[in-house]
Amino acid sequence: MTDRRNIGEIRQSARKRLADAENQFVRQTPQLDADLILCHVLGVSRTWLFLHNDDVLTTEQEAAIEAALEKRLGGLPVAYITGEKEFYGRTFFVTQDVLIPKPDTELLVEKAVAYAKAAFGARASSEAERSRLGADSGAGVEVGRQFRFADICTGSGCIAISVLAELFAELSGQDGCAGDAFERVHADATDISAVALAVARKNAEALLGCEGARSLQFHEGDLCGPLMACGSKGGACGGVSQSADGGASGNEPIAKYDMVLSNPPYVPATVTDELLKDGRGEPRLALDGDTDSALQSGTTSCDTDSALGGDFAQGVRAADGKAADGSSGEQSSDGLAIIRRLIPQVKKILLPGGVFFMETGEYNAEKAAEYLSKCGFTDIVIHRDLAGQLRLVESHI
């Protein structure tokens, strides 16, 4: 006789405990979470679980499952327990140093890939036209130019890596040569967090391979700052100071981009406070759009365009909770303080005719679109996510 339980009994017990949890965040998907925890501990697929309900586990296996289950009951997301999260058909490595990739963000990848594919199609047509008319015809000015995009606030790297992987697959299918695909597209990704970039680099190597990962360069620093040349040295800036119009003061881009992507912090500080009470453990740095950890109070003028007045003149809250410009004026409370600094910087690094895809919240997407318009962006469209919420702002210059 043995008092050890089989897989079916453990699954049922784990599901019930999660479903009955006091934490609403824990109760959302009890069966899926229970299965993912078992799969992680046992090193098996979910299909395997279904086929082995009667298998009895060892004491050590049960103890490991119980430890993981206690973490989930405490609010920690399954992705942080297992160290991985599915996103756009790929498995990404995640730690508590990065935001967990969300299904809503797949909309950004979808739109970016579609735009880039259309751009490659247009260039292919230009090449064909130039070939027909002759090399000296002047047709097809884009011939041979690399498609470049930037991913600002990259976190786990899920956006840049997913877009690159999709484009590599598309271009390899067209040319029958993966090596050529790697040469035709390049991405630069920035993040202020060195530990987040370590996660992103690991994902790039795992999902793009050594050769593909060379098409993606990571840069540590604030927003677009690492993509700006510093004076005559031409180096990369670890940060970026603001001019009166919100641009990078005294700096020029090290490159200009066909497309810029970003999922920046955009959650209001008060909402962030409430979200983190459930024990989810995601980094505040990646959520709070009002508290700008890149700034210190009294050191930086952070109004990206004070001349605009109104809501767009609200100050960024520095890491110590004070107004980053040292003033006692009203601080940002709408989650858009970081985005107000980001938008003028993006305008500086985009090529004419380029596109900017930026994820926002349903509570501030329209205000973000308004600010994009005030900063000179055109053809602005707000796309809805699968739940019908305003989620992704597309804009052009």
DSSP 384: E
The encoded tokens of residue 122 equal 């247009």
Please name the residue that has the structure tokens 């992705």. Answer: 79
At residue 3, the pLDDT reads 75
At residue 187, the pLDDT reads 98
Neighbours of 48 (CB within 10 A): 14
For CATH 3.40.50.150, list the domain ranges present in the chain.
103-396
Neighbours of 62 (CB within 10 A): 15
Query: Thinking of the domain 103-396, which architecture would CATH place it in?
Result: 3-Layer(aba) Sandwich (3.40)
DSSP 267: B
Query: Thinking of the domain 7-82, which architecture would CATH place it in?
Result: Orthogonal Bundle (1.10)
At residue 229, the pLDDT reads 77
Residue 290 C-alpha from the chain's centroid:
18
Mean pLDDT per 10-residue section of the chain, whose length is 397 residues: 83 97 94 97 96 95 97 96 97 97 97 95 58 44 75 98 96 65 93 97 97 95 89 36 40 91 94 87 91 47 36 41 46 87 96 97 94 97 96 97
At residue 326, the pLDDT reads 44
Q: Which residues contact 298 (CB under 8 A, 6 or more apart)?
A: 322, 324, 325, 326
Name the pTM for this structure.
0.83
Q: Which residues contact 276 (CB under 8 A, 6 or more apart)?
A: 282, 284, 287
At residue 163, the pLDDT reads 98
For CATH 1.10.8.10, list the domain ranges present in the chain.
7-82
Phi (first) and psi of residue 86, to 5 degrees: -75, 135
